[in-house]
Amino acid sequence: MSAGITAVNYAVKAGNGLGPRTRIISLANTDMTQAELNEMIQLLTAGGTKGVDDAVTVAGITAFEAGVTDTVYVAVQGTGVLTPGATYRGQANTTMALVADFDQNPA
């Protein structure tokens, strides 16, 4: 899903506070532990293969309870490439999916 910022009875201007590109991703893993979430956040901010999984800045994370939460939503900022998939970045049982993609200046 890709969502652009468009005018609907109001003026939309560059500098909307979302950064040049903000994406909402989900990280899913049954009964995720704090260590697993920490590892995923570290991998996202460090980046992986250039042009496949570029580094992003984590802007926010939904509420999380270790050993109970199965899906965490993460707001990330950056214009690099993120490639969703299962066993994300080599993490067994963790699936990353793109939920929403906000582009400050849609084409």
CATH assignment at residue 99: 3.30.70
15, with CB counted inside 10 A (0-12, 13-18, 19+), is exposed
**What total number of domains does the chain contain?**
1
Q: What is the extent of the structural domain holding 44?
A: 19-103
d(CA 106, CA 103): 6
Q: Does any domain span residue 8?
A: no
Phi and psi based region of residue 46 (left: phi greater than 0; alpha: psi -120 to 50; beta: remaining): alpha
Q: What is the pLDDT of residues 79-107, one digit of tens each?
A: 889 999 999 888 888 999 999 998 876 55
Task: Give the global pTM.
Answer: 0.79
Q: Sign of the C-alpha dihedral, residues 97, 102, 105, 107?
A: positive
Three-state SS at 91: coil
Please compute the mean of the pLDDT values over residues 36-54 and round it to a whole number. Answer: 91
